[in-house]
Amino acid sequence: MHVLRSYFEELITSAQNDNSLSIDPLTKIYVVNLLCDYARIENIDAGNIPTLVSLYSEAVNSTGTVKSNSYRKLGDIALFLSGFYSQYVEISGGLSYYIDMGISAYQQAYYLTNNNVLQNLSNDFCSVIVLLNDASCLTSIGAKLTLTQLLDIHEKSPSIISWKKLSRLRAAPILQSVIE
């Protein structure tokens, strides 16, 4: 597992450097651990990916630790799928839906646990999606975010990262006309 952790840490660090982005060190560790968990085949049932609404229902109808863990799991799945499987996300409700669900889930988990990493994930959800997407493109499983998805991310959470990515795609004029 140490090799896998080092691999994902290097991918995230590379994505951070490429985007001139810094995330909280504990949040980075959380994201790296999340990637390690989902890299293990026994943790993924590709034929049975739960819907976000079913995970949300589970969280809402739970109590105590199960409730906070359910919200965290909802946020984790929304984040992982948005970053690594953006094409799947598009046909399963759309990126905007995944962003809203992920941000809300991490915020609820934070309220229940007072874990600052979960609050950071809620606040930086869109930036972490971009980092994960960049990292995924360095692997054999990733697919780049589409222009529409980048515009959705920028609309939800404007940032230097999304602006730079849109500029690289020569889409900054599109964004500028939307702003005006």
Residue, of 137 and 9, whose pLDDT is higher: 9
What is the full DSSP assignment across the chain? -HHHHHHHHHHHHHHHHHHT----HHHHHHHHHHHHHHHSGGG--GGGPPPHHHHHHHHHT--HHHHHHHHHHHHHHHHHHHHH-HHHHHHTT-HHHHHHHHHHHHHHHHHHH--HHHHHHHHTHHHHHHHHHHHHHTSSS--PPPHHHHHHHHHHS--HHHHHHHHHTT-HHHHHHHH-
At 121, the amino acid letter reads L
Tell me which residue range forms the domain holding 43: 2-144
Is 155 among the domain residues?
Answer: no
Is 33 among the domain residues?
Answer: yes
pLDDT of residue 123: 95
Count of domains for the chain: 1
| Both structure tokens of 63 | 């109590």
Is 161 among the domain residues?
Answer: no
Is 89 among the domain residues?
Answer: yes
Is 149 among the domain residues?
Answer: no
Is 66 among the domain residues?
Answer: yes
| Both structure tokens of 60 | 């809402």
Is 162 among the domain residues?
Answer: no
In contact, 75 and 124? CB cutoff 8 Å:
no
Is 178 among the domain residues?
Answer: no
At 49, the amino acid letter reads I
pLDDT of residue 145: 64
Question: pTM value?
Answer: 0.78
At 2, the amino acid letter reads H
Q: pLDDT category, 67, cuts 50, 70, 90?
A: very high
